[in-house]
Amino acid sequence: MHPTSEVRSFEEPIPARRATRAVALSFPLLFGLASIVLGMVSITVNIVLLPMQVAVLDPEHKETTFAVILAFGALAAVITTPVVGALSDRTRLWGKRRPWIALGALLTLVAFLLLATAHTIPQLAVGMVLSMMAGGMLLAALTALLPETFPVEHRALGASLVGMGPLLGNAIGGILIAQVTPTSIPASYELLGTLVVGISLLFALTLHEEETPNVQGVPLRLAAFWINPRTHPDFVYTWLSRLFIFFAWTTLSNFILYFLHDVVHYEHVSGQPLSQGTQIYFAISTLAVLLASLLTGHLSDRWQRRKGFVITSCALFAVGLLLLAFTSVWAVVPPLAIVIGIGMGGYLSSDLALATQVLPDEYSQGKDLGLMNTAVYLPMILSPLVAALVLSTFHSYPILFLVLAGAAVLAALAVGRVKTVR
């Protein structure tokens, strides 16, 4: 039975739970800080600390071991986000979303303790699974707050914070590790864990959740996690769009280092270590994401147009990938990083705002947004598989980037099929 039909069994109708009050000036700042810790929990650990630990514990099979551990972590997050979203819909203890933010912070602490003291691959894998579960828990709670705290006219502002926050958190986390704890992995986890727990608990303690009806007492059944494409096509099209675009972004992020080494020959042409080239690329693209997300989010809210911004951003992303596919010159890469970053930033600001407007059920927003966010984690599993297949078959980064450009185009086409949002 669909959740909506379960809710209708209540004797009194429940009003829609979409925010209508103005957003307090302090809230976006705290909300943004809470979003930043997502990058520290998930991205910084995934791309900085975990690879170093795997290289030490299993140097002969480090690539395979890293991919397997990351896949298990992503699978855990795929399960966690909708389940926690559904449970938070039914929570009445200290608010609906706050308890799960606090629990996510505490689970991060446990995960980082395991990761910091890991001397075996199994312990590292368990720590990684818990870390990704913690990240999924925080993401589920934060995205569920979007339609409940940001009215429609400010929805893209909140979406841009959730979208760019993890990328900014990753950049901050990487800088802190490089500058403060460059020689100690345990100290890096201690530093990141302190920030994650401190910021998350601060946000939870200061968060004011309005008393809103929920589905407490309605049994949570497995069937509730199925969204019928025929009944709710706009939700499915939006989910597909996110899957395609995050697949392209994740794959590009994972393989840009190898592209700079194998195609651009960065070390030879610049005389600098390869790590510098990747840092330059990510710094430029992240800055472009941040600026584009804030600007397009403001315009999307002002004009109350979502689809146009999402489609244009996907097209710009695809153009950047197409141009990157046919270049081997380092001087061209930074400008293309700007193009790709602007495309991704524009997408992040409007797509999640659009997603909150195509939810199937006003009473299960946490669960439905949790399902929507599985499209963020699934590419972590799909990306290495598809990229390995393409590169092993064609031995060509241009073909891989053409595949990613095609994914960006499919993302635009999927959003174009949405009917209920402008």
- 128 shares a domain with 89: yes
CA distance 246 to 120: 31
Residue 361 tokens read as 């059920």
Structural domain tally of the chain?
2
Structure confidence by residue, pLDDT tens digits, 176-209: 998 898 889 999 999 999 999 999 999 999 888 8
pLDDT at 1: 37
Query: In this predicted structure, what is the pLDDT of residue 62?
Result: 87
Q: Are residues 238 and 207 in the same domain?
A: no
pTM: 0.89
Instruction: Say which CATH number the domain at 125 has.
Output: 1.20.1250.20
DSSP letter for 417, please.
Answer: T
274 and 197 assigned to the same domain:
no
Q: How far is Cα 173 from Cα 354, in angstroms, rounded to an integer?
A: 29
Residue 25: the pLDDT is: 66
* pLDDT score of 148: 87
Q: Is residue 115 part of a domain?
A: yes
Give yes or no for a contact between 364 and 211, defined as CB atoms under 8 angstroms apart.
no
Q: What is the pLDDT of residue 304?
A: 87
Residues 6+ apart with CB under 8 A from 389: none
pLDDT along the chain (422 residues), means of 10: 38 42 71 91 89 91 89 96 93 88 96 96 96 96 91 89 90 89 91 94 87 61 84 96 97 91 93 89 94 93 92 97 96 97 94 92 88 95 91 93 98 95 86
Tell me the longest C-alpha to C-alpha distance in the chain.
73
Tell me whether residue 20 is in a domain.
Answer: no
Q: Which domain holds residue 249?
A: 233-416
Residues 6+ apart with CB under 8 A from 421: 234, 306, 307, 354, 357, 358
Q: Is residue 227 part of a domain?
A: no
For residue 217, the model assigns a pLDDT of: 58
pLDDT for residue 4: 43
319 within domain boundaries = yes
Q: Are 128 and 237 members of one domain?
A: no
Whether residue 37 is found in the same domain as residue 133: yes
